[in-house]
Amino acid sequence: MDGFLDALLLDAGYNARLVAIGAGLLGLSAGAAGTFLFLRKRALVSDAVAHSTLPGIALAFIAMVALGGDGRWLPGLLIGSALSAWAGLLAVQAMTRRTRLSEDAAIGAVLSVFFGLGVVLLTVIQTMSAGRQAGLESFLLGSTAGMLYADAVTIAVGGALSVLAIWILRRPMTLVTFDAEYAAARGVNVPRVDLMIMGLVMAITVIGLKIVGLILIVAMLIIPPVTARFWTDRSGRVIWIAALVGGVSAYTGAALSAAAPALPTGPIIVLISAFLFALSLFFAPARGVAAALIARRRFQRRVHRRQGLLALARDEIIHDGLTLRVLQDEGLIRPDGVATEAGRAQAAKVARDEHRWAVAREVHQDSGLTGRYDGLTPIEEVFTPDEIEEFDRRIGGPVGVA
């Protein structure tokens, strides 16, 4: 526990500090950039981009070894993965635009072919004298163990630049993801903005390979915006809530991995993201499961209250136990089922509103009024006092229990 707190407070060593900061910046940028994919309904594209990086990593390693260099040099591996990811992205776009294949089919084809090619190349590398895969398997699930100072700096700088790019480009990207047709009408070059979004996603995918790995980086791009969506309906807020969720998950996961080196960094980060998603799924105030259950219960009580008051107005016996309990809780009936003074007044009001709505439909000759009337919304919230007075004049007198 002490080691975890030290890592959280950046007191676990210089390299651990850099890794935590780099992971936090990566999470910020991944959450924000993933929002644009999520809102654009192109989440699966990130999966194709991620899996397309593997052959690039392997080819970059082979090329650097052939040139007499160190095949483990991270910037070189990242450049190779970026070129390969770009090739995979272009392949998806070409197949989508020039064939009858849907985008998900093109993604499935590119993902499987590129990943299969990467696995074959890793097998070839294993037979080389340069190092039997040279630790390249860490790019599959991510690993910060043994990360060099230069590697940590590269990831931290890349994450910071990605966050800066998102901040600069956030307005046109938000406009395109929210309404591409409106953006085009405003003169925005939609294809170019789409290319910028995919470029950012590709950059974040490449930067995050060492920490999260190509298999799990998709979760860093998708889980934070999905989590953020539970908390707000405004696209601008979704971006920064997703960035916060991603940053907290990555920073906490990197700190936990530093405190317990046996724990893999990437899976820990994803599990923390999933935990925050689960909390939001159940407890978000507007869209969470708990809020939906509470809203449903309140709606049921309103329905039982109305039905009970109508029964009182018609002098009917109430048999439903929940209806009796709702009316008793509000002091509208006594335990013996007899209406109180307040209950009789409310019953008269509900019965009169039923007649008012009937008159309203006759007066306005508007079938749309039927859709607006749910039996629960007070009529005062739909019509003005003068209109309600006219309805009462047409009714001609009190209706229901006085």
3 state DSSP class of 188: coil
* Cβ 27 vs Cβ 220: under 8 Å: yes
Burial of 231-268, coded b for 16+ CB within 10 Å and e otherwise, reads bbeebeebbbbbbbbbbbbbbbbbbbbbbeeeebbbbb
Environment class of 395 (CB within 10 Å of its CB; exposed 0-12, middle 13-18, buried 19+): middle
Read off φ and ψ for residue 163, nearest 5 degrees: -60, -45
Question: What was the pLDDT predicted at 370?
Answer: 53
* Cβ 239 vs Cβ 163: under 8 Å: no
3 state DSSP class of 377: coil
Question: What was the pLDDT predicted at 223?
Answer: 94
**Tens-digit pLDDT profile for the chain (402 aa)?**
666 676 676 666 767 777 788 888 888 989 988 998 888 888 788 888 888 998 998 899 888 888 877 777 878 888 898 999 899 988 988 898 888 888 888 888 998 999 999 889 888 888 776 555 556 767 777 766 556 677 777 777 888 888 888 888 888 888 888 888 888 888 888 888 888 888 888 888 888 887 787 878 888 999 999 999 999 888 788 988 999 999 999 999 888 887 776 777 888 899 999 999 999 999 998 788 998 999 899 889 988 988 899 888 888 888 888 888 989 888 989 888 888 899 889 898 888 888 888 888 777 776 556 556 667 778 888 888 888 888 888 887 544 433
Question: What was the pLDDT predicted at 381?
Answer: 81
Give domain limits for the chain. Answer: 2-283, 290-395
CATH superfamily of 2-283: ABC transporter involved in vitamin B12 uptake, BtuC (1.10.3470.10)
Burial of 313-347, coded b for 16+ CB within 10 Å and e otherwise, reads beeeebeeeebbebbbebebbeeeeebbeebbebb
* Cβ 102 vs Cβ 38: under 8 Å: no
Around 272, how many Cα atoms within 13 Å sit in the side-chain half-sphere?
24
Question: What was the pLDDT predicted at 369?
Answer: 60
DSSP secondary structure letter of residue 232: -
